[in-house]
Amino acid sequence: MRWTWRPERQLEYAEVLLEQTELHDQFGKAVADKDIEGACFCLRSMIDQAASDRRVGMTGFVSVCAHLRRRGGANTPPWFDAECAEKRRLLREAIRSGQASHACDFLRKDYKVHVRWSKRLFTRLQRDIFLGHFKNKDSEVHALLQKAKQGSRTPVSQERWGEYLKEHFTRPPETEHARPGPDIGRDLAVPIGRGRDVAALLRQQREGVSVVQPDVVEAPNLDAFQGLVLREISKMNVKASPAFDVVIAPFIKHAVVMRPRSNGRGVVQHHCLSSFMAQLFKLMYESARIPDDWKKAKLAPLYKKGAYLDPNNYRMLAVNGTMYRVYANVLRALVTDWCMHKNKIPDTQFDFCPGHSTMQPCFVLRHLQHAAGLKNAHLHAAFIGFEQAHNTIPRQALWRHLQSIRMPDPFLAAIQDMHVQG
């Protein structure tokens, strides 16, 4: 089944979403029973049935053999006019009837010359039309320039890609180290005589047992989750790939209807899916579990430099499903808020931090360069670029570090579940 978003039928799509009372009840029952898989199925069914409704008509079936069928004129280029087809017919008839070779050569040359001329004429005409629209600042030209490019296949064979992915994504068994990290040892260095058993603390340190107590955070209520969901939905890119998910971004972002305000003045936007997604995300956050289907990602190789046949010269981009990305961004917002409130992000980090920008270290480096020049001193800078760093992070060390910085248990459990293979 193929989903095609039609902006002119957005209002009908949103109204059909509100009319599905039976699915709404089934979703509420699944959430009450803490059935995550059932709730995800109900939410997906809401979108599917609304898009498939005859009043909306945004879905259609695609045959698996459609690419094998040749339709008349489907592969004919636009510059191939009727005169080109006539000259090609004359050439074929001359060859089939067994005419003299010089006559066939003449018809072949005449056909090629006319085809070349027709193609050049069509190219010039399209160029003049495009430049005319561009000069008049036509909005269609701007949309054409912003259109995403279609991906192309790499020359690397499927067998070579399989060997490469198996080599890089087969995780070696992680060994547990007896000695804890430096952060844990620093936290265990407590003064003597404060009601603590120093001998027990030292014994736990030798055994690698962490005594760092995680921070306690107040569990977000449903309204907080809905606010985060609405904020992340407003940031969604409607052109983003849904990966293996059948739900594409426009069917979530544009599920909006206009409702009059309670005071009777003006209208307000009402998102039809935000409340259901907030209930689902709250259940997954409290249960620290997401569906196994959400953990599947589509890998897309992006060429960097070097030989085209070497898989090491491609950057692997993992594209997750639409619903997974919204949930991951909501969880990231919660973790970021805790990090900013507890000062867990150092001042030396400028990326992935609200209020910071990578322009700030450039400004600092420029001042250091200026100061070094005034004092006639040497200034050394190092740039570290990690190659093939995907899936190389030792997970157990990462969990120990997050525990050492007192990350709350709900955050840590939710993050760990997202990295556990189903």
| CB distance 272 to 14 below 8 Å | yes
Q: Please tell me which residue, 13 or 191, carries the higher pLDDT value.
A: 13
Percent of the chain at pLDDT > 90 equals: 37
CB atoms within 10 A of CB 324: 20
Report the distance separating Cα 39 and Cα 208, nearest Å.
Answer: 41
Calculate the dihedral angle through the C-alpha atoms of 245, 247, 252, 257, rounding to the nearest 10 degrees: -170
Q: Are strands 298-303 and 314-319 parallel, antiparallel or unpaired?
A: antiparallel
Nearest to 177 by CA among 223, 208, 133, 218: 208
- Our measurement of the distance from residue 277's CA atom to the centroid of its chain's CA atoms, rounded to an integer in Å, reads 18
Band (pLDDT 50/70/90 cuts) for residue 140 is confident
Least confident of 75-79, 118-122, 170-174: 170-174
Report the distance separating Cα 249 and Cα 347, nearest Å.
Answer: 35
Confidence (pLDDT) at 309: 86
With 50 as the cut, is the pLDDT of residue 260 above it?
A: yes
Least confident of 29-33, 259-263, 337-341, 395-399: 259-263
Report the distance separating Cα 378 and Cα 205, nearest Å.
Answer: 43
Domain boundaries, the chain: 2-64+215-344+405-418, 82-145
Question: Which residues neighbour 341 within 8 Å (Cβ) at sequence distance 6 or greater?
Answer: none
Q: What is the mean pLDDT of residues 352-357?
A: 82
Report the distance separating Cα 43 and Cα 34, nearest Å.
Answer: 14
Percent of the chain at pLDDT > 70 equals: 83
- Tens digits of residue pLDDT in 24-67: 999 999 999 999 999 999 999 999 999 988 888 887 765 545 44
Confidence (pLDDT) at 422: 58
Half-sphere exposure of 4 (CA within 13 A, CB side): 10
Question: Which residues neighbour 134 within 8 Å (Cβ) at sequence distance 6 or greater?
Answer: 141
Count the helix, strand and coil residues of the chain and give each as a percent rounded to the nearest 5: 55, 5, 40
Band (pLDDT 50/70/90 cuts) for residue 390 is low
- Tens digits of residue pLDDT in 369-388: 999 999 999 999 888 777 66
Report the distance separating Cα 305 and Cα 117, nearest Å.
Answer: 38
- Tens digits of residue pLDDT in 309-336: 888 888 888 889 999 999 999 999 999 9
Band (pLDDT 50/70/90 cuts) for residue 229 is very high
Three-state secondary structure call for residue 10 = helix
CA-CA distances (angstroms) from residue 16 to 38, 223, 257?
Answer: 21, 24, 11
Half-sphere exposure of 281 (CA within 13 A, CB side): 32
Three-state secondary structure call for residue 44 = helix
Half-sphere exposure of 219 (CA within 13 A, CB side): 12
Q: Which tokens belong to 393?
A: 């992070």
| CB distance 322 to 229 below 8 Å | no
b/e string for 231-254 if b means 16 or more Cβ within 10 A? Answer: ebbeebeeeebbbebbbbbbbbbb
Which residues sit opposite 319 in a β-bridge? Answer: 298
b/e string for 372-381 if b means 16 or more Cβ within 10 A? Answer: eeeeeeeeee
Its sign, for the CA torsion 42, 46, 52, 54, is positive
Band (pLDDT 50/70/90 cuts) for residue 1 is low
With 50 as the cut, is the pLDDT of residue 219 above it?
A: yes
Confidence (pLDDT) at 201: 53
| CB distance 215 to 226 below 8 Å | no
DSSP assignment of 355-382, as one string? T--THHHHHHHHHHHHHHHHTT------
CB atoms within 10 A of CB 182: 10
Question: Which residues neighbour 365 within 8 Å (Cβ) at sequence distance 6 or greater?
Answer: 381
Confidence (pLDDT) at 179: 44
Its sign, for the CA torsion 401, 404, 405, 409, is positive
- Tens digits of residue pLDDT in 154-210: 888 888 888 888 887 776 665 554 444 444 444 434 344 445 455 665 665 565 545
With 60 as the cut, is the pLDDT of residue 74 above it?
A: no
- Model's pTM, two decimal places? 0.73
Confidence (pLDDT) at 149: 65
